[in-house]
Chain A
Amino acid sequence: MSVFSEAAVSPRRRRTDRLMRVALVAATILALIPLVLVIYYLLKEGLGSINKAFFTQDPSGSFFGAVGGVRSAILGSLEIVLLATLISVPIGIGVALFLTEYGKDSKFANVVRYFVDVMTGVPSIVFGLFIYISLVLTHVGGNFTAWKASVALALLMLPIVIRSSEVVLLLVPASLREGALALGAPRWQVIFRVVLPSARTGLVTGSLLAVARGMGETAPLLFTTAGAAGLTFSLSGQMNALPLQIYNDILSPRAAVVAQAWAAGLTLVAIVLILNLVARAVSRRSRMA
Chain B
Amino acid sequence: MIPPDTTSKEPSQMSTAREQSEQAEATPDRSGSVESRPGRGIKVRGLNAYYGKQHAIKGVDIDFPANQVTAIIGPSGSGKSTVVRCINRMHEEIPGARADGSVTLDESDVYAPDVDVTAVRRVIGMVFQKPNPFPTMSIYDNVAAGLRLTGTKPHNLRETVNTTLRAVGLWDEVKDRLNEPGVGLSGGQQQRLCIARTVAVSPEVILMDEPCSALDPIATLKVEELIDELKARYTIVIVTHNMQQAARVADSTVFMLDGEVIEHAPTNDLFTKPKDERTERYVTGKFG
Contacts and interface: CB of A to CB of B under 8 A. Distances in A.
Instruction: Tell whether A and B belong to one assembly.
Output: yes
Interface string A170-195: 00010110111111111001100110
Contact of A183 (B95, B122, B133, B136): B122
Contacts of A186: 118, 150
Identify whether the interface residues of A are mostly helix, strand, loop, or mixed. Answer: helix
B93 interface: yes
Contacts of A190: 149
Interface in B207-258: none
Contacts of B188: none
Most buried by B among A104, A176, A180, A190: A180
B125 interface: yes
Contacts of A181: 90, 93, 121
Interface string B132-165: 1111100000000110111100000000000000
Interface in B95-126: 95, 118-123, 125-126
B130 interface: yes
Interface size class of A (residues with CB under 8 A): 20 to 34
Interface string A188-212: 0110011001101000000000000
A189 B149 contact: yes
Interface residues on B, range: 20 to 34
B70 interface: no
B198 to A, nearest CB: 7
A104 B96 CA distance: 11
A38 B136 CA distance: 40
Interface in A97-119: 104-105
Given A175-B130, A176-B134, A182 B148 contact: no
B282 interface: no
A155 to B, nearest CB: 31
Given A176-B132, A176-B134, A183-B125, A193 B90 contact: no
B131 to A, nearest CB: 9
A184 B119 CA distance: 6
A197 B93 CA distance: 21
B88 interface: yes
Given A178-B132, A183-B121, A183-B122, A105 B201 contact: no
What are the 6 tightest A-B residue pairs by CB atom distance, in nearest-first order? Answer: A184-B122, A185-B149, A182-B126, A184-B121, A197-B136, A183-B146
Interface of B: 88, 90, 93, 95, 118-123, 125-126, 128, 130, 132-136, 145-146, 148-151, 194, 197-198, 201
Given A178-B90, A184-B149, 10 more contacts: A104-B95, A179-B194, A179-B197, A180-B145, A182-B126, A184-B119, A184-B121, A193-B149, A198-B136, A200-B136
